[in-house]
Amino acid sequence: MSGWWSGAPIRVRLTALYMAVLALMLVVYAAATFLAVRHEFREQLEEQLHQGVESQAAGGDQEPDPEERLQQQLREILVVLVLGLPLVVALAGVGGYVLARRALAPIDHLAAEARRMTADRLHQRLSVPNEHDEIGRLAAVINDTLARLDQSFGQLRRFTADASHELRTPLAVIRATGEMGLRETRTPAEYKDAIGSMLEEVDRLTRLVETLLRLSRGDAGTVRLSRDIVDLGDLARDVVTSLGILAEERQQRLEVAADANVRVSADRLVLRDAITNVVDNAIKYSPSGSTITMRIEADAVEATLSVTDEGPGIPAEHRERIFDRFYRIDEGRSRGSGGAGLGLAIAKWAVDANGGRLSLASSGSGSVFRITLPRSGPRANGAPDRGAS
């Protein structure tokens, strides 16, 4: 029974349910009507009997038995009710079925449209006949999902294309260098140079593959993060210690302005990666003599580490995609400085993985990258914190 019930189409179930309820209501209504009529008749009968007794006592004519007549009338009513009821229910059922089918037809239509969707046709959308009714809302929700899927697929396609481009470039260099090296006999120094150049490209390839692997593990969610209580000020000073020398080379000042004791619960190494990449980015794109400031602030719920530079800023049209993998504002410039355009993508992943947000505000006179993380709880003084995850 339950198997049949859940296996039947909605319109059948709807109609069956509707008929059952209607039948039940009609039966109750009919029974009540019948009982009320019978009660009324009985009272009339009793009255007549009284009158009859009086008239008999007065010696009147004998009429046909009124009780017999009453029973006859009640039976007729009963027959009408019993026969009429199924008929009414059946008619209502047919009507209900037709109605249900009409009401549900747009869903069939939606399903047929959705069935035609494939990864390659994600740009298509379902038609929304009436955006205010339930079906319309459903279609809108599905369309919304499709739009997001479309976007993710687009990103993935772009990523694959970019990745193969990035992988191919070093391969091309290796090949060309090797072929050139073999073309004619050269001096040992020239051979060394050629082999060194090939090794540099191998190194680049290796690092690229490692980074991609990290990102794809991050996507798959197979990276297990530890939860340490991290003092953001310490972490920032740590990054300054390791990257300070790069800023020094460019005569830049790297400063930390930190509120004391701003602690978050995060994977220390992963979070440091994020900060390192953001700061490295700031060093690379800031003019010499400028200042890069790491500012750490906190309110009751969130801690923020912002990296402010005095560089040229990031034009509005690039801001949206600045965290995309392989995205570079200036193709030619960044390759030379050794990046593959993955630094900020790694940073974003690292911040997201720790339950935070990485955002960018930029004007013509510099950029502010802001890492916002949930604060670790009040028990944060060295105690493991589970509340902030």
Partner 1 sequence: MVRVLIVEDERKLAQVLASALQAEHYDVVVAATGEDGFYRANAERFDLVVLDLMLPGRSGLEILQTLRQRQIDTPVLILTARDGIDDRVLGLDLGADDYLVKPFALPELLARIRALLRRGRPSDLLRLKAADLEVDLVARRVMRGERPIELTTREFDLLEYLLRHQGHLVSREMLARDVWKEPRRATPLDNVIDVQMTRLRKKVDLEGPVRLIHTVRGVGFVLREGEP
Contact residues for partner 1 (CB under 8 A)? Answer: 192-193, 195-200, 202-203, 206-207, 210, 213, 242-243, 245-246, 249, 269, 273, 276-277, 280, 338-340, 343
Token output for 386: 């589970």
- Nearest CB to partner 1, comparing residues 139 and 215: 215
Which contacts qualify for 199-206: CB closer than 8 Å, 24 or more apart? 201/170, 201/171, 201/173, 201/174, 201/177, 202/170, 202/174, 204/170, 204/340, 205/167, 205/170, 205/171
Furthest C-alpha separation in the chain: 153
CB of 123 vs partner 1, minimal distance in Å: 36
Structure tokens at 146: 């499709």
Write down the least CB distance from residue 196 to partner 1, Å: 3
Least Cβ distance, residue 197 to partner 1 (angstroms): 7
Shortest distance (Å) from residue 238 CB to partner 1: 11
Give min distance, CB of 296 to partner 1, in A. Answer: 20
DSSP 275-304: HHHHHHHHHHHSPTT-EEEEEEEE-SSEEE
The answer to whether 46 touches 70, Cβ cutoff 8 Å, is: no
- What tokens does 190 get? 């020239």
Q: Kindly state the DSSP code that residue 386 receives in the 8-state scheme.
A: -
Cβ proximity to partner 1: between 11 and 272 the closer is 272
Residue with smaller CB distance to partner 1, 128 or 270:
270
Among 87, 82, 108, 89, residue whose Cα is nearest residue 19: 89
Q: At what angle do helices 188-220 and 343-353 cross, to 10 degrees?
A: 30
* Nearest distance from C-beta of residue 343 to partner 1, angstroms: 7
Q: Name the CA dihedral angle for 44, 47, 53, 57, rounded to a multiple of 10 degrees.
A: -120
- Please name the residues in contact with 143: beta carbons below 8 A apart, sequence gap of 6 or more: 125, 126, 128
Based on CB atoms, which residue is closest to partner 1, 256 or 278?
278
Between CA 246 and CA 178 the distance in angstroms is 33
Q: Report, in Å, the least distance between residue 333 CB and partner 1.
A: 15
Task: In angstroms, give the least distance from the CB of 301 to partner 1.
Answer: 31
Residue closer to partner 1, measured from CB, 102 or 207: 207
C-beta closer to partner 1: residue 93 or 343 = 343
Nearer to partner 1, 287 or 378 (CB): 287
- DSSP β-ladder status, 291-298 and 253-258: parallel
Closer by beta carbon to partner 1, 95 or else 287: 287
